Amino acid sequence: MERTNDSTLTEFVLVGLSAHPKLRTVFFVLVLWMYQMILLGNGVLISVIIFDSHLHTPMYFFLCNLSFLDICYTSSSVPLILDNFLTVRKRVSFSGCMVQMFLSFAMGATECVLLGMMALDRYVAICYPLRYPVIMSKNTYVPMAAGSWVIGLVDSVVQTSLTMQLPFCANNVINHFVCEILAILKLVCADISINVISMAGSNLIVLVIPLLVISISYIFIVTTILRIPSTEGKCKAFSTCSAHLTVVIIFYGTIFFMYAKPKSKSSVGADNQDIIEALISLFYGVMTPMLNPLIYSLRNKDVKAAVKNIPDKR
């Protein structure tokens, strides 16, 4: 591809589903509805946790952070996605694209780390129930949540800074709905080995390590639950972490399916694969935040009871 000076590149063109006009209309309605459900579901969950004193515990504090994170994550990308569905070739300024990429990457990285922190919370609650209030005090769980945000923001600053310094080719067309970092790196006309190394380090910190923490935590959790003599006790113990485990499976399952599948070598197959990757990314970016409040409310007696008590408090 022809190389261009990075100072002359002022905008990107998002293609998305431009070749499928019928799908664009369907997805616009679907994504708009899902976004409204995300704002409503997570907003209600945050309000319930804040106003119900019985839910002022470490687990619900983390859940409140997760819901707020989901609102921020979708709000950083869904408006652009919806606009993309209404426009055949959506043009986005270079700075606007970088800001959107920074916010999306930061929120995604923060959620990975936060899920790991939530696993540690469940590990302490199940394996050390008597010491749980002492170990998971406010001086512990607040820095854990804050650390998740700091790690995500710092990681995004590094990745976005490295990307902004790269020279881009004359082709500024992104085969995606949003400014996704991997799609943008495909347009670079230079050696991106530093970016690859940086991304590998990022994946290790925000993906691999939290996943190891989650896996090890649940190994100890399952071992502890199996030692409980009564069936009722086992079910009660597992119910406290089943919602988190479900969210983790959906979250990491989508990520691994998106990045671990083989790449197509033919140009036609590559174009189709770009569309498939974009659709999977759309599922990851919209479906998961919509399901999170449903999973935690339907599988959690405390949240359901708090929601039912809202009319009584009024």
pLDDT reported for residue 241:
84
Instruction: Quote the tokens at residue 232.
Output: 């009722």
Indicate the helix (H) or strand (E) that contains 165. none
Looking at the domain assignment, is residue 1 inside a domain? no
- Which residues, listed in sequence order, are joined to residue 173 by a DSSP beta bridge? 13
User: Does residue 279 form part of some domain?
Assistant: no
Residue 14 lies in a domain: no
Average pLDDT, the chain: 83
Three-point CA angle 176, 177, 180, nearest 5° = 65
Residue 39 lies in a domain: yes
pLDDT, tens only, 225-254: 998 888 888 888 888 888 888 888 888 877
| Residue 120 located in a structural domain | yes
Q: Is 280 inside any structural domain?
A: no
Domain count, the chain: 1
Q: What pTM was computed for the model? A: 0.86
Question: Would residue 151 count as lying in a domain?
Answer: yes
Residue 156's nearest CA partner among 93, 96, 209, 108 is: 108
Residue 93, domain CATH: 1.20.1070.10
pLDDT at position 7 is: 46
pLDDT recorded at residue 1: 46
Per-residue pLDDT at 5:
45
For residue 1, the Cα-to-chain-centroid distance in whole angstroms is 33
Angle between helices 58-75 and 94-127 (to 10 degrees): 160
Q: Which domain holds residue 49?
A: 19-250+286-296
pLDDT in tens, 61-99: 999 999 999 999 999 888 888 887 887 777 888 888 999
Judged against a pLDDT cut of 60, whether residue 4 lies above it is answered with no
- Report residue 268's pLDDT band, with 50, 70 and 90 as the boundaries: very low
258 within domain boundaries: no
